[in-house]
Amino acid sequence: MNILFDLNHPVDVNFFKNTMLKLKEQGHNIILTYRPRGKLQKIVDYEVSEFNPIPIGKHYKTFFSKLFGQLYRDLLMFKFQRKHKIELSVCFGPTNAISSWFNRIPYLAFEDDLEYRIPFYHANLFSTRHIMPDYIRFSNKKTWKYKGFKELAYLHPKRFKANLNSIKNLNLVKKRYVFIREISNVSLNYKEENKSIVDIVSYLANKGVQVVISLEDDAIKDKLREMCLVLKEPVEDLSSILAYAQFAISSGDTMAREVCLLGTPCIYTGGREMVMNNELIEMGIMFKEDTVASIFKRIDLLMDDEVSSKLSNEISDKINNEWADTTEVILEHISEFIRK
């Protein structure tokens, strides 16, 4: 079967990678496309080059240019799908939902972000199935629910085992460092303008804590090198680094969830109110903090090793007994269309 996977965000690569490998192993023809944007092309080339990924369209920044860009890309995808005789399209969100609808190709749209309402309803309108975690309070005849998180498509214990050598190669010691992730379009400079990520790193360093940091903003890397280990992008086996950290601080919501699902407490500083984070916040493994002062206070509480160990065990219980292996969920839905 000719199955199209169309990627729009870096996390889409990890989300679908195990599924694509399994389907290829079963003898299906996997066609991989993506919208060139940010670091997605580098990640695609690094992680899934064996599928010969094809760039289609381009990324725009303003609302109206994004609207035009999406419609034009759907026109390009309409032609591409016909040329390659696509029989099933599998995507995250509405990536090529319109072109698939016009071509009468079944479109499986995976989803986890109701807060981005325009893409959410766009996907729901044109998809054959709209598949999402059960914490999203939205349902109609197209929606299918599963229990868990999208990140468990690549972080479930069946899919990932942390490698201690990955931190030894960086001269790090298990549970004796703090990981920080700062993405360029979200800042830790919230209500206290005289404070910054530099102050947070300094606070940890003054406590004798080793800090490991991943940054998109090259401008402040030189300021931080003397105080912490600045990782070179792309980071090899980042998930193991997250799993062995004492705790983490992240302004990116996907990474904040990844950290928590690996059993590591995380301070989330991205500012978004997201239903997908609520269960992790209620469990006490994710902490949403909006000011540097509150981050300092949370850091002091998380320095207790017993707290981290207890939370890690609770996450393991949830994964083993309640939450699905999301790759199996993806494969189950695809298999139903393969049989048709």
Q: What would the pLDDT profile of 108-166 be if each residue is shown by its tens digit? A: 999 998 888 889 999 999 999 999 999 999 999 999 999 999 999 999 999 999 999 99
pLDDT in tens, 289-313: 988 889 999 999 998 767 677 788 8
- Considering its fold, how many domains does the chain have in total? 2
Dist. CA 153–CA 174, nearest whole Å: 25
User: Are 37 and 60 members of one domain?
Assistant: yes
CA atoms within 13 A on the CB side of 116: 12
User: Are 217 and 293 members of one domain?
Assistant: yes
Beta carbons of 160 and 128 less than 8 angstroms apart: no
Dist. CA 255–CA 190, nearest whole Å: 19
User: Are 75 and 181 members of one domain?
Assistant: no
DSSP code for 93 = S
User: Are 190 and 114 members of one domain?
Assistant: no
User: Are 179 and 226 members of one domain?
Assistant: yes
User: Are 124 and 168 members of one domain?
Assistant: no
User: Are 289 and 228 members of one domain?
Assistant: yes
Q: Is the pLDDT of residue 187 over 60?
A: no
Domain that residue 288 falls in: 164-321
Lowest average pLDDT, out of 28-37, 61-70, 141-150, goes to: 61-70
Dist. CA 113–CA 293, nearest whole Å: 29
C-alpha dihedral over 247, 258, 42, 118, to 10 degrees?
Answer: -130
What's 276's domain CATH number?
3.40.50.2000
User: Are 145 and 287 members of one domain?
Assistant: no
- Show the DSSP H helices in the chain as ranges: 10-25, 40-47, 63-83, 97-102, 117-126, 152-155, 164-168, 197-206, 221-224, 238-243, 253-261, 278-283, 292-302, 305-321, 326-339
User: Are 193 and 332 members of one domain?
Assistant: no
Mean pLDDT in residue range 264-280? 90
Residue 155: both structure tokens together: 């972080």
Tell me whether residue 159 is in a domain.
no
Q: Is residue 309 classed exposed, middle or buried when 0-12, 13-18 and 19+ CB atoms within 10 A define those classes?
A: exposed
User: Are 148 and 62 members of one domain?
Assistant: yes
Dist. CA 72–CA 51, nearest whole Å: 24
Tell me whether residue 99 is in a domain.
yes
User: Are 203 and 131 members of one domain?
Assistant: no
Closest CA to 335 of 50, 129, 92: 129
User: Are 315 and 176 members of one domain?
Assistant: yes
